[in-house]
Structure 1
Amino acid sequence: MRIKDIIEGKKEWRAHMARVKALPKDYQVVYKEIQKYLFKVGPVELTDGTDLLSGIIDLFEEGVASEKGVLEVTGSDVAAFCDDLIKDSETYADIYQEFANEEGNKVMKKVKDKRK
């Protein structure tokens, strides 16, 4: 990654966060919880940019313009809202699960081989 790319990425992130800070406080709180959730569980492609997060801000800005409360936009179960957003995406949790399954299969094969 070139320095120019890093600088450009920082500019984009600052502009992104400026949009978050322009939202009403309740929207900001929910956005930050969504962001934490997605960074922990989230899709692999989330690290490629902020498209998903920008889309959430777009949705929130529309909610504000329509004078809706944040939970009217996301529903009362924010985690379910997040899960629905990433349901068709490969997540880090999926990758870890695949790795754990492969390692478990290797261990089971060794146990079976020892019994023979």
Structure 2
Amino acid sequence: MLLLLAYGGAMFLLGSYAAAAVVSVMQASSLAASIASKLVLQARTNHCNGHTGQLSTLSVLLSWAGSLGVLFASLQETGSLFTTLSQTLSAGLSCVLLVLVLCYRSSTCHHENEE
């Protein structure tokens, strides 16, 4: 409940008092965080482990399709070079995750229980 109240308060303050520049910087940083999580965390971990663990093929496929949709909308409507390049990079990294899932789909994680 406390988290919900804090989140609601932050959104109220951002909506009513924050300048448009602050909101656009926050949006750009969230895209950078998304890109870093796809490349640095997920793709590298999958490659080092040799499998994708519990990563669902369907969820990665939908994420890739969604990022392609956002890229298409960005190309059609915004015209901003930074936004288009960011969305292109995000779609490309989603494609890398999809390729990893498809390559490692027959690999399984082998855990040995030591008792």
Name the TM-score class by shorter chain.
0.3 to 0.5
TM-score (norm 1): 0.36
Greater relative CO (CA pairs within 8 A, separation 6+): 2
Larger Rg: 1
TM-score (norm 2): 0.36
